[in-house]
Every structure is written in structure tokens, then in C-alpha cells.
């Protein structure tokens, strides 16, 4: 490139720069430039604020955990020492707790403004995450994941009872979680006809939504596992492998819906048996049978008799067989 060409190029560049509008600070505060710059500045401040908040919460939480760590020998003296410290064993729980703390304000926001209670049912064996999903579906909470996180961190997920509840839209998530710890007591009338076997009684109870058949039959066949077994004198002479077959007196019972334990149901049968038969009724008399053999015989007769007048005949046949006559 010659000297003349280089000079012409420089002059052309100078002319171009002179024709452009100057970018002074005054230009930055005029028209749309001001709006764009303010938006950029606001977004930058928002990002910095969020990052600062996360850092402050994280720093406070981690400092709390590390300061709570025990001395090296504390665990030898106190088995509970260091349980709340940040260790590999509970790091997941601490992460969940930190996540919950960052959303703590959302827990206190109700899903609606209707204070009128509505029914809600927790089914037997229903996982907590399914309960949370249905709560959101029915409008009691806004965020099932947050509610489930709250249950996990607080340890309430294993304490939710099966049963009937009355909840309102204005309840907060902690209030709903607390309410789900105690089900409302609802009862149903169940009629047990004469001659029903334990299996048939179990099916009748299941139809009335009282208890699952397997749980009821397991308790009937292993009565010594019941916490109420020692409360009834007439059961103390029951053989080791004896069941409650024959003690389930036919009658109409008022039983709790979705009973949490077999004892709540079986106690009604045993109380009725004791009131109507009692220990005196367990004496075999001249038949030579023990009280429990007599109960078994009565249960068999009830199954086989079609007409009421057939019972004495059937009973007589079995007594003669047992006595060898």
C-alpha cells in the first residue's frame, strides 16, 4: 500500500468517526437506553440478592451443624451425642432440612380462603406421598412435593393415621400434617349371624370397611399375641395353639371404621361373650367336656345345623363320639 493510499484510508476513518453520534453519559439516560439500563441493573441486583440470601442461609445452617459436632470422646459417654451434627450418616437429612428452610414461608400459605371443613380419608397402608398428592388434588394444599418434604424432615410421614379427617382450605401445611396424626372416630353397625365361621366374619368386617380379613384372622388364630389377652379370665386356660373360634359371639356390633389394631375389634366380641356367657358358661357339666371343648362343639353345631331344632341332635352325636359311646 502506497503512502497516498494509507493517508486516504486514515482520513476516511476519521471522517466516519466524526459522523457518528457521541456516546456520552447524557445519551445513556435518554429514551429507551435509560429503560434498558435500568432493567439490566435491576436484574443484576436481583441475582446478587438471591445469591447473597442463599449464601447467608447456607452459612448459618452449616455453622449451626458444625458447631453442634461433639468432641472426639463424647460419643463414648453419651450415645446420643452428635446426633444432630453434620456427618455422612445424616447428610441427606441435612440437605433436605436446608431445602425446607429455604421454602419455610410457603408452608404457612393456605391453599384457599374457605374455612368450612371438608372430609378427607386416608386409606389403610397408603404411602405419605400418595396422601400428599390427593391433598393437592382436592385443594387442601398447593404443593404436594413441599408437603411431602415437610413430612420427611419432621418425621411425620410414618405417623399419619388411616381414617377419616375434617380439613379446611385455610389450614396451613403444618396444621394439616398435625391433623393427620389423629383420625376421627367413626363407627359402623355389623351383624354377625349364628353359624358364621371366622373366615366369614372376617369378610363381613372387610365389607364394612372395619379391618382387612388377613389381619383379623391372624389375631383370631393367635390370640396370645393380643395385648388384651390377659384381660379375660376365660382365655387363660386356652391351649397354646388355641384360637378364638367359638368366642366370636353372634350379635350386632358397633365397631370402629378403619380400626388401627385388631384389639379394637376383637375386644367387642370378647366383652359380649363375657357378658352373655361368662366363666360359668365354660363348664361342661355332665357331658365330661372341658369348657373350651364345649365352645368348639357349639361352634361346630352352629355351622352344621340348618334348623334350630337340629342343634340338640347334632350336639348329642358329637358328645357321644367324644365320650366313646
C-beta of residue 226 within 8 angstroms of C-beta of residue 263: yes
**pLDDT of the residue at 141:** 96
The residue among 14, 258, 15, 5 whose CA lies nearest residue 120 is 258
**CA dihedral of residues 168, 171, 176, 179 (deg, nearest 10):** -70
pLDDT band, very low/low/confident/very high, at 219 (cuts 50, 70, 90): very high
- Between 310 and 276, where is the model more confident? 276
- The arithmetic mean of pLDDT across residues 271-300, rounded, is 63
Which CATH fold topology does 102-179 show?
A: Dna Ligase; domain 1 (3.30.1490)
Specify the 3-state DSSP secondary structure of 6.
helix
Identify the weakest region by mean pLDDT among 34-43, 94-103, 210-219: 34-43
- The arithmetic mean of pLDDT across residues 176-181, rounded, is 94
- The arithmetic mean of pLDDT across residues 95-121, rounded, is 90
- For 225-247, what is each residue's pLDDT tens digit? 999 999 998 888 888 888 898 88
pTM (two decimals)? 0.45
**pLDDT of the residue at 310:** 54
- Report the share of the chain in percent with pLDDT over 70: 66
pLDDT band, very low/low/confident/very high, at 51 (cuts 50, 70, 90): confident
**pLDDT of the residue at 182:** 87
- The arithmetic mean of pLDDT across residues 136-155, rounded, is 94
Mean pLDDT of the chain: 77
- Between 61 and 101, where is the model more confident? 101
**pLDDT of the residue at 69:** 46
What residue segments make up the domains of the chain, in order of their start? 102-179, 185-281, 283-325
- Between 217 and 32, where is the model more confident? 217
**pLDDT of the residue at 106:** 94
- Report the share of the chain in percent with pLDDT over 90: 35
Specify the 3-state DSSP secondary structure of 120.
strand
Any alpha helices (H) in the chain, and if so which ranges? 3-19, 25-28, 31-67, 74-77, 91-102, 104-107, 128-137, 144-154, 173-179, 198-207, 213-221, 263-276, 291-304, 311-323
- The arithmetic mean of pLDDT across residues 100-128, rounded, is 90
**pLDDT of the residue at 263:** 93
**pLDDT of the residue at 202:** 96
d(C-alpha 95, C-alpha 72), whole Å: 24
**pLDDT of the residue at 71:** 44
Q: Which residue has the cell 459436632?
A: 69
- Between 296 and 124, where is the model more confident? 124
d(C-alpha 136, C-alpha 125), whole Å: 19
pLDDT band, very low/low/confident/very high, at 92 (cuts 50, 70, 90): confident
- The arithmetic mean of pLDDT across residues 171-197, rounded, is 90
All three cell numbers of 256: 370402629
pLDDT band, very low/low/confident/very high, at 213 (cuts 50, 70, 90): very high
- For 14-40, what is each residue's pLDDT tens digit? 666 555 545 555 555 555 566 677 777
- The arithmetic mean of pLDDT across residues 45-69, rounded, is 67
Identify the weakest region by mean pLDDT among 32-36, 121-125, 197-201: 32-36
**pLDDT of the residue at 95:** 82
**pLDDT of the residue at 70:** 46
- Between 82 and 10, where is the model more confident? 10
Amino acid at each position: 500500500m502506497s503512502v497516498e493510499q494509507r493517508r486516504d484510508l486514515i482520513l476516511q476513518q476519521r471522517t466516519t468517526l466524526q459522523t457518528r453520534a457521541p456516546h456520552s453519559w447524557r445519551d445513556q439516560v435518554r429514551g429507551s437506553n435509560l429503560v434498558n439500563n435500568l432493567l439490566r441493573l435491576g436484574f443484576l441486583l436481583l441475582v446478587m440478592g438471591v445469591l447473597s440470601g442463599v449464601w447467608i442461609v447456607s452459612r448459618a445452617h452449616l455453622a449451626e451443624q458444625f458447631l453442634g459436632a461433639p468432641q472426639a470422646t463424647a460419643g463414648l459417654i453419651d450415645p446420643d451425642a452428635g446426633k444432630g451434627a453434620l456427618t455422612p450418616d445424616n447428610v441427606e437429612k441435612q440437605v433436605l432440612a436446608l431445602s425446607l428452610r429455604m421454602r419455610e414461608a410457603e408452608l404457612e400459605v393456605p391453599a384457599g380462603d374457605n374455612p368450612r371443613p371438608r372430609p378427607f380419608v386416608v386409606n389403610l397402608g397408603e404411602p405419605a406421598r400418595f396422601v400428599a398428592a390427593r391433598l393437592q388434588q382436592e385443594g387442601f394444599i398447593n404443593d404436594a412435593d413441599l408437603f411431602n418434604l415437610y413430612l420427611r424432615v419432621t418425621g411425620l410421614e410414618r405417623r399419619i393415621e388411616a381414617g377419616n379427617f375434617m380439613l379446611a382450605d385455610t389450614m396451613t401445611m403444618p396444621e394439616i400434617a398435625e391433623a393427620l396424626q389423629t383420625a376421627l372416630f367413626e363407627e359402623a353397625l355389623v351383624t354377625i349371624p349364628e353359624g358364621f365361621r371366622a373366615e366369614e366374619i372376617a369378610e363381613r368386617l372387610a365389607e364394612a370397611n372395619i379391618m382387612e380379613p388377613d389381619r383379623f384372622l391372624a389375631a383370631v388364630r393367635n390370640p396370645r399375641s393380643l395385648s388384651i389377652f390377659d384381660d379375660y379370665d376365660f382365655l387363660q386356660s386356652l391351649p397354646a395353639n388355641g384360637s378364638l373360634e367359638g368366642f366370636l359371639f353372634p350379635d350386632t356390633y358397633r365397631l370402629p371404621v378403619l380400626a388401627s389394631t385388631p384389639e379394637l375389634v376383637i375386644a367387642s366380641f370378647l366383652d359380649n361373650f363375657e357378658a352373655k356367657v361368662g366363666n360359668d358358661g365354660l363348664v361342661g357339666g355332665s357331658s365330661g367336656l372341658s369348657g373350651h371343648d364345649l365352645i368348639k362343639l357349639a361352634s361346630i353345631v352352629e355351622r352344621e345345623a340348618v334348623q334350630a331344632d337340629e342343634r340338640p341332635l347334632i350336639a348329642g352325636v358329637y358328645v357321644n363320639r367324644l365320650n366313646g359311646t
